[in-house]
Structure formats: structure tokens, C-alpha cells
Amino acid sequence: MMKILNISTECYPAAKAGGLGDVVGALPIYLNKLDCEASVIIPKYSTDWMVSKKWKKKSQFELESGNNTYQITIFILNDTSFPYDLYAVDIPTLFDRKSIYLDENGKGYKDEAERNVVFQLSVLTWLCRLKYKFDVLHCHDHMSGLIPFLIDHSQVFSRLKKTPTLFTIHNGQYQGIFNWSKSELLPAYEPSARGLLEWDGKINSLACAIKCSWMVSTVSPSYMKELKENFGSLTSLIRHESSKCIGILNGIDTSVWNPKTDSLLPITFKTEISRFKIDNKKELSSKLNIGSNKVWISFIGRLAYEKGADLLAPAIDQLLTKKREIIFVLLGSGDENVAIALKQLEIKYPKNISVTIAYNEALSHQIYAASDFLMMPSRFEPCGLNQMYAMRYGTIPIVNHTGGLIDTVPDIDFDGNGFDYTPNNVEKLCQVIIRAVSFTKNKEDMEKLRQKIVALDFSWEKSAQEYKNIYQNLIILSNHAS
């Protein structure tokens, strides 16, 4: 049975900041159903979940990086009901924090380079001390992007040479770029390999991973296509490496996202989708103090430029000055200016908008269940999971034509699953919303579309098989290499 180790800084339910956590949390479950032995290693944070669990010590060692010495402990989750082996790297001072990436002011931690490097060195040091070997190391995003380089070019980790690596880009916007002064954090490596760490005069962890990993994947085929067309200064690099690049659409964990059994919902799905909607809308409308007799259009996610969150307030304002048959239900946190603009709209139109500035897993499930539409005006969306969650709950997506949204939400005019628009600006967003609202007038079409989207299969089975095929090919390659 092939042994796969996922190396990540997020894994739901232990630690999640976004979609990366969902994917790393679910993929091993589905790989293991396909007779793999997949496990995950993440840093040991002080999240409620991680603190509340029992952990068993696996290994302990000292690690030097820069001028510091760290006491590292590798733990394994001591819970037989958990579906796979979850390892956690305890690095006091760097990771024993509640929040995964952001400080109390919502800014990225200043010691990001130290955190990422020491985490990666700890994982590699532990792997070298193990009696057994993992067949493939699956690295996720730039935070584990130096691993393929270190395996190949640092003598310290020579025991791991020929271990195949797959690197998955969940979000190419974040690249782990550091000044060369940070190179002192790394152990000695072959001087001739220095160029592999670099892009545009700096250390670029993502570029380094694209160069050094055996295979590179992104989380949807369209996003991979987009990167090859325009990935800023990395376009030439990804084109150059294109023979080892592939796009695999994420799945969703259909056992967590199941409207029939979802314990976070006041009313679960029985037989009729329209009943499910009406009942959940009623429940949530009293909780949020809004009406239940209008069209609900929601937004769930980070209030970030990348997600097009800045387009929401001007579009909603424009629409509500004329059209009062819509209620907007918004849930998210992030950019403060966006949050303020939305809160002001809530005061201006108290009957037509509900804004919750928070990260709230339970409320998000309830909003998916109650809404008619979910809008995703994302500027970039490597895959996007929310549109798939929405469809499982009979909620029709309204999406900008980008990345994984292209692959999952073809437009209704092309016999698709929702409403798709482009270019991504306030005017077009208003137009597509008007188009969606007028669609609701035809009850029969609405019912047909809802029934179609709840029945779509976005489960992990198919994608997990694609990952397994890649692992298998990599193992064959490594056998030839040795």
C-alpha cells in the first residue's frame, strides 16, 4: 500500500483558515478508501481543536535555524475515531498561537519566513529519523515549497533523495517571497543550486517548488490554463515546466456537506428541495431579523480583493436603490474598509441586508441552506469550494468567469448550473443579479435547476483517483531513478 504524507499548514478540523484546510482535511479520507495510506502533518497550533485533543509523542529533537535552536516534538493524534494519521509538529514560540497566519491586528505574522522554514526543516528531520519511508511527499502551497529543493540539494536530508514530490498550488497569489538575508535560516546546500531558490532577485518558495518538485498540480484545470496565460512574472516559469503540470478539480467532503444529515441545520433535507429552502429561510430570517418572502442572495467568504469583496457594497447599493425584492445575506471577515461599507449599507437598508462580520462555520451552513443564490465575484479562484457547497444545498451560484468557477458553474444559457458573468465589475455584477432574480419568476425553471444542481456529483472520489494515479506514476519514476 502506498504511503503518502501531505505536508500542509492547514487541515480541517484541526486548523483551517480557508479552502486549503478543507482540501487537506478531506483528501486523505478518500485516498484511503482507494487503498492508499495517506496521512497529514501540520504545525501544532493552539487552536481550540488541537488543544482539546490527546496527542502521543512520536519523536523529539533539537533543530538549528539561523541563530536559534528549537526544541521540536512530533506528535500523532491519539484518537482512533479520526480517519487517518494526523501528525503535528510542536515548535514552541513559532506556532503555539491560536490564529494560523494573522496577528491580533489582522496582519500577517512578521516571522513568516522563520515559521515556514523551521516547520519544513522539522518535517524533513523527522522523516530522516524514521525507520520507514513515505512513498510520496505531497506538499501544499508555498509554506511547504522548499521541501523538494532541500531534499535534492541539502546533504543533511540526503536520506530522502529520490523520494518523489508533488506540489499543489491552491493559491498562486501567495508565493513565500523573502529577501536573501533569510537564506541564513536554511541549512547548507550545494552552492550551484542557489539559483533554484531565486526568482526576481529574491527567494521565492513557490517558484522554487515549481522548479524542483517532480510534479505540479493546481486545484482546477482552468486555473492551470490561466497560470500558463498570465501568472505575472512566473508565467515563463510555469510554461517552461508545463510538461509536469496538471489541473485536478477539488472535491468536497460530501459527508460534512450533506443537507440530509447536516447537524448544523435547523431543518434537514427530506424529499422536496423547495420545502427545504422555505423552512430554512424561515428559521434563519427570524434569527437574522430579515424577511423570508424575498429572493435571498448571499456571499460567504473572506472580505478580500481576491474574492471581489470590494464590489459588493457598490453593487448592492445600486441594486437596492431600485429593487427591493432582494435580501442580501453576507458573512465574512477580512478587509476593514469593506466591512465598514457593508455595515453602513445594513443601516441604510435594514430590511434588505444582513451583514455578519465573522468566521462562523455553523451560520455558513445555514445560509447555504436558506439562500436562493450565492454570489462569488472572485477576481481569482483557483478552485473555489463555496459554489460546490451551495449547489449541494440547492443554492444557485452567480460567479465571475474565472479559474475553478469556469469548471464547475457553466452558465444556464449553455445548459449549465448557474449564472456566469464577465468582465468582473460592479455594473456586470448588478446585471447578472438582475438576470438571476428574473429567473426566479419562472417557478418551474427554478425547480428544475435546483433539482439538477443538488444531484451533481462533486465528491472527492474522482479527484482522489486522479491523485492516486499521479502518486503511482511518481513511484514508478522513482523506482527507475534508483
- Residue numbers at the binding site for ligand GLC (CB under 6 A): 18-20, 23, 170-171, 219, 250, 381-385, 404
Q: Within 13 Å and on the Cβ side, how many CA atoms surround 55?
A: 21
Closer of 115 and 170 to ligand GLC (Cβ): 170
Judge whether 31 and 463 are in contact, CB under 8 Å. no
Nearest distance, CB of residue 140 and ligand GLC, angstroms = 8
Taking the least distance from each CB to ligand GLC, the nearer of 96 and 306 is 306
- Nearer to ligand GLC by Cβ, of 75 and 458: the residue is 458
Sequence-distant (≥ 6) Cβ neighbours of residue 57 within 8 angstroms: 73, 74, 75
Min dist. Cβ of residue 24 to ligand GLC (A): 9
Least distance to ligand GLC from the beta carbon of 463, Å?
A: 11
What is the number of other CB atoms lying within 10 angstroms of the CB of residue 161?
Answer: 13
Contacts of 416 by beta carbon, 8 Å cutoff, 6+ apart: 409, 410
Q: Which residues pair with 326 in a beta bridge?
A: 295
Nearer to ligand GLC, 439 or 460 (CB): 460
To ligand GLC, the closest distance from the beta carbon of 6 in angstroms equals 12
Closest CB to ligand GLC among 198 and 306?
306
Q: What sign does the CA torsion over 147, 152, 153, 159 have?
A: positive
CB atoms within 10 A of CB 295: 19
Whole-number Å distance between alpha carbons of 479 and 390: 43
Q: How far is the CB of 434 from ligand GLC (least distance, A)?
A: 26
Q: How far is the CB of 34 from ligand GLC (least distance, A)?
A: 19
Cα separation of 350 and 237, whole Å? 50
Instruction: Kindly tell me which of 65 and 175 has the beta carbon lying closer to ligand GLC.
Output: 175
Kindly state the smallest distance separating residue 138's Cβ from ligand GLC, in Å.
13
Our CB check for ligand GLC shows the closer of 169 and 412 to be: 169
Q: Cα–Cα distance between 403 and 405 in angstroms, integer? A: 5
Residue with Cβ nearer ligand GLC (19 or 308):
19
Q: Which residues contact 358 (CB under 8 A, 6 or more apart)?
A: 331, 332, 333
Backbone angles phi, psi at 214, to 5 degrees: -75, -35
Task: Check: CB of residue 300 under 8 Å from CB of residue 332.
Answer: yes
Q: Which is nearer to ligand GLC, 252 or 453 (CB)?
A: 252
Q: Which helix (H) or strand (E) holds 343?
A: helix 336-348
Which three cell numbers, joined as nine digits, stand for 479? Answer: 523506482
The residue at minimum Cβ distance from ligand GLC is 19
Nearest distance in Å: CB 342, ligand GLC: 21
Report, in Å, the least distance between residue 223 CB and ligand GLC: 8
Comparing C-alpha atoms, which of 310, 314, 312 is closest to residue 335? Answer: 310
Cα dihedral 179/189/218/382 (nearest 10): -10
